[in-house]
Structure 1
Amino acid sequence: MKKLILASALTLCSISASAEVAVIVNASNTSNLDADTIKKIYLGKSKSFDNGAKVNPVNQNGNSVADEFNDKVVGKSSSQLNAYWSKLVFTGKGTPPEKLDNDQAVLDFVAANNDAIGYVDSAKVNDSVKVVGKF
């Protein structure tokens, strides 16, 4: 019985341990972004960087990195965020960020587009992009 309880406790601890999420922009981007600005971008409330350049955010398809980002930065669960965007789309007030399949797809997109912003597992970041925040 003690082994079962210990195994259950260890499982819960490993589930709650999560990776750090890095918010990234193109390496040539000189904008300064704080958590509130990033949140506004991903909620469609801000459509440009602080230098006035248009911003092109990308999400990840419902994976653990997306869940972490939504929870830590946007402050909503994935289902709450989907409902939020559904309402905006239905009323014609917004279009959600494009969804890419994984960290590598986000890295490639952000590296290739000067106006892009995305997020990845911080362990996957490379020199092709610039980290503007870790959560």
Structure 2
Amino acid sequence: MYKIAFLFTLLSSSVALADVAVIVHPSNGSDINKDTVERIFIGKEKSFSNGNKAIPISQASGATADEFNQKALNKSSGQLKAYWSKLVFTGKGTPPKEVDNDAEVIQLVSSNPDTIGFVDAGSVTDAVKVVTTF
């Protein structure tokens, strides 16, 4: 009985502590650090260090999106929605494109050198390049 409870606790904690990987196209040689990621995903930075436009791809909801919002942007999902609502209403910004899952993010990022996205670190494939993790 105790072994089952311990195993369940161990498995539950590993899911909650999953890393989020920030990914770009393999050809993107820009310098991208955690501050750059935050600035791109809150609309304060519009291009990569190589001069190309930065197109952020976000996930609509779920554990990966919540983890990224909290760790990378220091905002809850609710705070982030309120932030973007204000910018959209005042005409000062457009939120990142949202997709439903890691596979969609990887597909978009691997097919466009100007995109940047985030996925569960366990979902990363060789079609993309990891620039940082949270």
TM-score when normalising by structure 1: 0.89
Summarize the Cα distance change of 1:77–1:28 in structure 2 as closer, same or farther, 3 Å threshold. Answer: same
What SS is found at the alignment partner of 1:88?
helix
Q: Report the Cα offset of residue 16 of structure 1.
A: 7.7
Structure 1 letter corresponding to 2:83: Y
Residues 36 and 95 of structure 1, relative CA distance in 2, 3 Å threshold? same
Question: Aligned residue for 1:121?
Answer: 120
SS of the residue 2:44 aligns to: coil
Alignment partner, residue 48 of structure 1: 47
Q: Which residue of 1 aligns with 2:19?
A: 20
Q: Work out the CA distance in 1 between the residues paired with 2:48 and 2:85.
A: 24
- The equivalent of 2:130 in structure 1 is 131
Shift in CA distance, 126/42, structure 1 to aligned 2, threshold 3 Å: same
Q: Which runs of 5+ in 1 are unaligned?
A: none
Match of 1:98 in 2: 97
SS at match of 1:33: coil
Give unpaired runs (5+ residues) of structure 2: none
**Separation in structure 2 between the aligned mates of residue 55 and residue 29 of structure 1, nearest angstrom:** 11
Q: Structure 1: how far apart are the matches of 2:64 and 2:16?
A: 12
Does residue 111 in structure 1 map to residue 110 in structure 2? yes
Aligned letter for 2:29? T
For residue 51 of structure 1, report the CA deviation from its aligned partner: 1.0
Partner of 2:66: 67
Aligned match of 1:58? 57
Q: 1:113 to 1:122 in 2, by over 3 A?
A: same
Question: How many residues are aligned here?
Answer: 129
CA distance in 1, matches of 2:133, 2:70: 13
